[in-house]
Amino acid sequence: MAARFVVGADGLHSTVARAVGAGLTVDLPSLTGVYYSYWSGCEGLGASFNVRAGRLILVWPTNDGQTCVYVGWPRLEFRAVRRDPATHFEAAVKLVPGLWEALVEGHREHRFVGTDDLPNCYRQSAGPGWALVGDAGHHKDPSTGMGMSDAFLAAGLLAEAINQGLAGIQPIDDATAEYQRRRDCLTANGFDLTLSTARLEGTTPRLESLYDNAVGHPDQISRIFGVLGGSIPLSALDTEALL
Ligand SMILES: Cc1cc2nc3c(=O)[nH]c(=O)nc-3n(C[C@H](O)[C@H](O)[C@H](O)COP(=O)(O)OP(=O)(O)OC[C@H]3O[C@@H](n4cnc5c(N)ncnc54)[C@H](O)[C@@H]3O)c2cc1C
């Protein structure tokens, strides 16, 4: 039986995308390679985003009382990292004062998981009778942690578009073409921020100063997190007022 409409929500290496011949509209290679694992006994660490030149060290609490620790390296260094992930992981984590000591106090519950299959791309995501959503249609480096939020955003937009079509309000192919346009527009700021974060160039004195000056200013802190979460553009930060 033929389906009236097919949605490919099948991830970065989408079979549906291949089957319909969906081409890439933006095609930038992986910038980083990453390893991560999970520790118990480190609940006190909370969440942190630690930028060092050539390294990104992320820490966040997750389910079952475990803490996920993630390290990103420039992709060009990743071949060496792969030969001995544990040693490279330890060296990177030691760049954050106190972090390695806390992990040693705890217990690693999982093997190190790694990948450098992290392209930064947009794919044509709508065509006659089909659409792509989530990583199948748009994938980016995980250093800003926006993939899931953007996948949900796109799913909401696509559901709306398909409903428009099935309810006869608008031809479905027009509605899904508009879905792609809106998705691209709404994810553009986050994509730019992700590319600049994934270059792992470290923070500039200006950015350090922006963060320092935000201490004690909850509105400004909210705006910074809004930018990091991709919900507001970088230009919304009133940097001049703070520097
Ligand atoms: C290391 C790393 C860390 C990340 N950290 C974060 C983070 O902190 N926050 C965040 O928001 N995002 C993060 N992301 C990104 C996030 O994981 C993805 O953006 C998100 O999972 C995309 O969801 P999806 O449903 O589109 O694709 P996927 O999660 O890849 O799901 C696709 C599903 O389709 C299934 N599938 C594939 N082919 C078929 C088939 N032929 N038939 C049936 N099923 C099929 C797969 O098994 C899979 O279950 C991270 C990614 C990586 C790699």
Look up the pTM and report it: 0.90
Task: Find out whether the beta carbon of 153 lies less than 6 Å from any atom of ligand 1.
Answer: no
3-state secondary structure of 87: helix
Centre a 10 Å sphere on the Cβ of residue 20 and count the other Cβ atoms it contains. Answer: 19
Q: Which atom of ligand 1 is nearest to the CA of 70?
A: 1
How far, in Å, is the centroid of ligand 1 from the Cα of 136? 9
Q: How many CA atoms lie within 13 A of 2 on its CB side?
A: 3
Reference 89, options 39, 42, 139; nearest CA is: 39
Neighbours of 58 (CB within 10 A): 20
Kindly give the distance from the C-alpha atom of residue 126 to the centroid of ligand 1, in angstroms, as a whole number. Answer: 19
pLDDT score for 243 = 43
Nearest residue (CA) to ligand 1, atom 15: 147
Predicted confidence at residue 209, as pLDDT, reads: 82
Q: Please tell me if the CB atom of residue 135 comes closer than 6 angstroms to any atom of ligand 1.
A: yes
Q: For a pocket test of ligand 1, which of 35, 71, 148 has the largest count of ligand atoms closer than 8 A to its C-beta?
A: 148
One DSSP character per residue, 161-204 reads HHHHHHTTSS-HHHHHHHHHHHHHHHHHHHHHHHHHHHT-----
Q: Ligand 1 within 6 A of 6 CB?
A: no
CB atoms within 10 A of CB 34: 23
Closest Cα to atom 20 of ligand 1: 148
Q: Using a 6 Å cutoff on CB, does residue 148 contact ligand 1?
A: yes
Give the Cα separation of 179 and 169 in Å (integer): 15
Ligand 1 atom, smallest distance to 148 CA: 11
Does 210 contact ligand 1 (Cβ within 6 A)? no
146 touches ligand 1 (CB under 6 Å): yes
Q: Which residues of the chain have pLDDT under 50?
A: 241-243
For the Cβ of 147 lying below 6 angstroms from any atom of ligand 1, the answer is yes
Task: Quote the pLDDT of residue 212.
Answer: 85
| Cβ(160) – ligand 1 distance below 6 Å | no
Cβ–ligand 1 contact at 141 (below 6 Å): no
- 199 to each of 9, 41, 243, how far by Cα in Å? 28, 32, 24
Interatomic CA distance for residues 10 and 20, integer angstroms: 13
Nearest CA to ligand 1 atom 37: 10
- Residue 2 is predicted with a pLDDT of 84
Query: How many CA within 13 A on the CB side of residue 211?
Result: 11
